[in-house]
Amino acid sequence: MVLELTKITKNFGGISALTDVSFKIEQGQIFGLIGPNGAGKTTMFNIITNMFLPTSGEISFLGENISGIKPHKITEKGICRTFQNIRLFSQMSVLENVLVGGHCRSKSGVLHSVFRTKKQCNEENEMHAKSLELLELVGLADYRDTIAENLSYGQQRRLEIARALASNPKLLLLDEPAAGMNESETDDLFDLIKKVQKRGVTVLLIEHDMPFVMKLCDRIAVLNFGKKLAEGTPEEIQNNQAVIEAYLGSEEEDQIA
């Protein structure tokens, strides 16, 4: 089991953002977390990455309780994420953005960097080669020297994924990766996430594009008002009457297909 959440509750003052939410994600799955705005999806991402501490409950990653561990240590353990709003280093090149993503795996200390030791140079060359490989994976190899802010919206989204992959994650969290994309860009994103899965990376994603989610995900959990409403395969979620009524509304049943 890659990730196991047990009875996660998060309160902000008198408001309950999440209440007793539990689910498990197995190795190699693409797992979708869906629900209307305000359902608690991004709060859950923030708890998994320990940007927020849960009020109660436990988070287990690869069998280890990671509740309370500092966010940068979470990355070192193998969890990385993207955000709803693009957070690139806009004035840096595409390649430099990916190199930054791999910095957490650097083993050379300050002295190695200052004196440009063989160890540091070898590590730098390896990171450079890996970054180019990742740019090839996401279709941005020809843009390696382009300033990040000059990329199209869809390209910036793919660059964020490349930067996240540079940290060698075992679990990749994608927060609304298809938001704002046109049909062609969404198709490219679908293919990219499948490639990421084939590399052995487990994926947890938040997304509002229902056809995209139903086609992509192996398993889906539905949140509503901070509680888990349902969990199952895409087919089971599509046919779940509680999901249809609470998430889409009885008159919009066709939109979940």
For 197-217, the DSSP string reads HHTT-EEEEE-S-HHHHHHH-
Tally the domains of the chain. Answer: 1
Q: How many CA atoms lie within 13 A of 129 on its CB side?
A: 6
Q: Residue 245 falls within a domain, yes or no?
A: yes
Q: Residue 104 falls within a domain, yes or no?
A: no
| Cβ 205 vs Cβ 177: under 8 Å | yes
CATH number of the domain within which 48 lies = 3.40.50.300
Q: Residue 217 falls within a domain, yes or no?
A: yes
Q: Residue 15 falls within a domain, yes or no?
A: yes
The CA radius of gyration of the chain, in Å to the nearest whole number, is: 19
**Distance (Å, whole) CA 19 – CA 25:** 19
Q: Residue 108 falls within a domain, yes or no?
A: no
Residue range(s) defining the domain that contains residue 57: 3-78+169-256
Sequence-distant (6+) residues with CB within 8 A of 86 are 153, 156, 157, 160
Per-residue pLDDT of the chain (257 residues; tens, 9 = 90+): 999 999 999 999 889 999 999 999 999 999 999 998 889 999 999 999 999 999 999 999 999 999 889 988 999 999 999 988 888 999 999 999 999 988 655 565 544 555 567 676 767 788 899 999 999 999 999 999 999 999 999 999 999 999 999 999 999 999 999 998 999 999 999 999 999 999 999 999 999 999 999 999 999 999 999 999 999 999 999 999 989 887 656 444 445 55
Q: Residue 206 falls within a domain, yes or no?
A: yes
Q: Residue 59 falls within a domain, yes or no?
A: yes
Q: Residue 213 falls within a domain, yes or no?
A: yes
Structure tokens given for 51: 């940007």
